[in-house]
Amino acid sequence: MGDGVERRTFLKTGLAVAAGTAAAELATRAEAALPRTAPAARVASIAPRPLSPATTPDPGHQQPLPAGGRTVERPMHGLPEVVEPTGAPADDEVAYLTYDIDLQIARHTPVTGVEAHMLAFNGAVPGPTIRVMENDWVKVRFKNRTELMHTIHWHGLDVPYTMDGVPWVTQDPVRPGQTFVYRFQARPAGTRFYHCHFGTLLHMQSGMHGAFIVEKPDDPIRRRFPYTRDYTLILESWDLNFMRSELNAMLRRMKERMLLMKIGKLDAETQGVFKTHEQFERALESGYIPPYTTQRVAGEGRAGLDFNFFGINGKCYPDTEPLLIRRDEWIRIRLINAGQLEHYMHLHGHQFYIVAEDGNDLPEPVWQNTVRVSPGKTADIVVYGDNPGYWTFHDHDTRRVTNNGIYPGGMLTVLAYEDLDGPYVPRVALDE
């Protein structure tokens, strides 16, 4: 019996090893067949609005960014203006790179002709890209200028738990007008991102997300694939109708809550936040009605989400930015799924290597032409420019290559060769 089990195990293991080896050899052969170029001295990072470190102390954002609508510049009712939790080294202990991020409600145009109110870090969607080296010390001064409550969660980064940005679990939410100072060391390296973790379903899709890229000094991926351009693409899915109705509903409730706080009547039940489960149970016994029962439905009565626009870096096709490449050039594309749907990004006319997932380098690159990016996941791919032309790069769940149901649109962009003088150039197609 023992022999039988061992033999079956051997067969299974042997087959698995053989299959793995074959795939690796295939990848290696394919990689070897591609021309190699010397690593360029410099990599051009192409990402949503890179954010430069601040040079002046401005923890309360005394000089706020311009806003198009109503903002809250100071916290009300005696709340501290700046919250600086413990759990990270003090300013005089390490050299922090300081970044200022504020939040306001802005009008955003996901695609020409369609406008929506969104929650905009530094006034735009998605938020600015923060790019640091591994083990840099980072300080982010986040000012909430909306009437809603928020946090920032550093997705995929190993930060002290007091900096993890989960409301009521690691911190109180950042109240209207407050500044919260996050401090942490940027590690591990890789493609990371940040997003609001308060009312995550609404806030994250409403624009509160941005890329956080942690680079290694001598990146093995770049040594192996000497890319000269480094693209960051944030994948988004929006139900603009849910966002509109629920943002309005949350603003109305928050206005009332701020009044209740002012007159000392904001209690645990009204906030829906209890110190302990026992306190929650006691509230139920005394008549408290949880919001997830029949008293309220999100989206002012709408039963569920119905995503109708899909974006890359805040834009839907045909407003998406093309990915530029030259013949014999390697490019890196960092995909970040900041939405609630799974996407299957397919590149026409090329194979590519998946070199990292969740920001972490894969032991061995995987040679494919479609990469699955689940909600919350990141995937890094490298592409070699060996087939000049214009090539679409899109979610192959083509329901997401639509704008309000009309194809083409949504999560689609074009890999365009800069040095191409081809017989056909892309048009702007809106309706097929």
Partner 1 sequence: MNDATGRALPGLVLLGALFASAAAWAADVGADVAPRITVGGRLISTLDLGRAYGQGRDDEDTADVDVADSSLLVRFDKRLFDQSVGGAVLGLEFPDPDADFADTVYYHHVFAFLWDRNYRIELGRTKLRNYLVEFPTLRDDDLLWFTETTNGLSNSNTEEYQQFGNHLAVDLFAPRQYLAGTFYLAQRTETEDDGSVKDGFDVNGGGVQFQRTVPAALKFSGRVRQAGVGWDVQRVDVDGGAWKNAFVAGGVVNLTLDPADHWEAMAQAIYDLGAGDEGLGTVRTRALARSVSVVGAVNFRKSTFQLLRWKAGLTGAYKRYTQEGDGEWSVVPTFQYRLGDGVAAVAQYRYTGRSADLVRAVGFDREHRVQVGLTFDFEAGFNDYIGERQSILNLEHGFVR
| CA separation for the pair 33, 24 (Å, rounded) | 14
- Shortest distance in whole angstroms from residue 30 CB to partner 1: 46
User: Minimal CA–CA distance to 240: which of 401, 126, 404?
Assistant: 404
Q: State how far Cα 358 lies from the chain centre.
A: 12
Strand order in the sheet with 390-395: 323-325, 412-417, 390-395, 343-347, 370-373
Nearer to partner 1, 244 or 346 (CB): 244
Q: Any bridge partners for residue 98, and if so which?
A: 139
**Residue whose token pair is 């192996």:** 224
The answer to whether the CB of 133 falls within 8 A of the CB of 215 is yes
Least distance to partner 1 from the beta carbon of 256, Å?
4
Backbone angles phi, psi at 248, to 5 degrees: -60, -45
Q: How far is the CB of 253 from partner 1 (least distance, A)?
A: 6
Helix or strand run (H / E) with residue 109 = strand 96-111
Nearer to partner 1, 31 or 269 (CB): 269
Task: Tell me whether residue 285 or residue 421 sits nearer to partner 1 (CB atom).
Answer: 285
As measured in angstroms, the least distance from the Cβ of 97 to partner 1 is 32
For residues 9 and 271, which CB has a smaller minimum distance to partner 1 in the complex? 271
Residue 106 to residues 145, 208, 237, 316, 404, Cα–Cα distance (Å): 11, 12, 18, 18, 21
Residues that bind partner 1 (CB under 8 A): 68-70, 105-107, 115-117, 240-241, 244-245, 247-248, 251-253, 255-257, 259-260, 263, 265, 269-270, 272, 287-289, 294-295, 300-302
User: End-to-end distance of the chain based on CA atoms, in angstroms?
Assistant: 63
**Residue 118 Cβ, how far from partner 1 at the closest point, in Å?**
10
Beta carbon nearer to partner 1, 4 or 113: 113
Closest CB 282 distance from partner 1, rounded Å: 15
Nearer to partner 1, 244 or 350 (CB): 244
Q: Which two tokens stand for residue 58?
A: 């401005």
CA–CA distance, 367 with 24 (Å, rounded to integer): 9
Q: Least distance to partner 1 from the beta carbon of 300, Å?
A: 7
Please say which residue, 17 or 289, places its beta carbon nearer to partner 1: 289
Closer CB to partner 1, residue 258 or residue 420?
Answer: 258
Closest approach, Cβ 404 to partner 1, in A, equals 8
Scanning 153-239, the segments in alpha helix (DSSP H) are 200-205, 220-224
Smallest gap from Cβ 216 to partner 1, in A, equals 41
Three-state SS at 3: helix
CB of 258 to partner 1, least distance (A): 9
Please say which residue, 147 or 164, places its beta carbon nearer to partner 1: 147
CA angle at 314 for the pair 308 and 320, rounded to the nearest 5°: 90
| 193/190 Cα distance (integer angstroms) | 10
Shortest Cβ 268–partner 1 spacing (Å): 10
Q: Which two tokens stand for residue 246?
A: 């629920």
**Which residue, 36 or 255, is less far from partner 1 as judged by CB?**
255
C-alpha closest to that of 246 among 197, 195, 208, 205: 205
The three-state secondary structure class of 155 is strand
Considering the complex, what minimum distance in angstroms separates the CB of residue 290 from partner 1?
9
Closer to partner 1 by CB, 267 or 328: give it. 267
- ∠109-192-414 over CA atoms, to 5°? 50
Residue position matching structure tokens 């640091």: 132
- Concatenating the DSSP letter of every residue in 269-323 gives HHHT--SSHHHHHHHHHTT---IIIII--TTTT--S----EEEETTB-BTSSPPE
Nearer to partner 1, 37 or 241 (CB): 241
SS3 431: coil
